[in-house]
Amino acid sequence: MLNRRRALMSDINVTPFVDVMLVLLVIFMITAPLMQHGVDIELPKETIAPVEVKEIPTISVQSNKKIYWNKDKVGNLVELTGNITEYLKDNKDGGVYLQADQGLDYGFVMRVMATLKRAGVKNIGMVTDPSEP
């Protein structure tokens, strides 16, 4: 009987690794679309005591996307940024109230909020009407 030794294999066997990765890829491809959708919930309606109103500017956005600084019409988001910059020169930690029409699309409200944040506003208060008791 000959005593032949098999040479040691120094290569990594990647076949099991590839199999596991393909299974994980399929799992993620199936579950990813499910994770992007929110859960349908109905938020409760509560009446709470009104918050004390401070003397800070109010930014109003109508359903036709017209923007107002207090009660003065602002042409666009660039002019709004100029108003905020002027306001923040005297009020370093200044905040603003934002009231937007209920029929306005969410994306435009987010653009207004992003403009406020980029201009340096640290606190944005959202104004709503109280619900009926």
Confidence of residue 38 (pLDDT cuts 50, 70, 90): very low
Residue with the bigger pLDDT between 9 and 61: it is 61
Mean pLDDT of the chain: 79
Give the pLDDT of residue 43: 47
Are 86 and 49 spatial neighbours (Cβ–Cβ below 8 Å)?
no
Asked if residue 18 has pLDDT above 90, the reply is yes
Give the pLDDT of residue 73: 85
CATH number of 58-126, picked from 3.40.50.2300, 3.30.420.270, 1.20.120.80, 3.40.640.10: 3.30.420.270
The mean pLDDT of 69-90, rounded to a whole number, is 86
Confidence of residue 45 (pLDDT cuts 50, 70, 90): low
Query: How wide is the angle at C-alpha 121 spanned by C-alphas 106 and 92, nearest 5°?
Result: 170
The mean pLDDT of 12-21, rounded to a whole number, is 89
> Is pTM beyond 0.85 here?
no
Give the pLDDT of residue 8: 76
C-alpha pair distances (Å), 66 with each of 19, 23, 42, 60: 56, 51, 30, 8
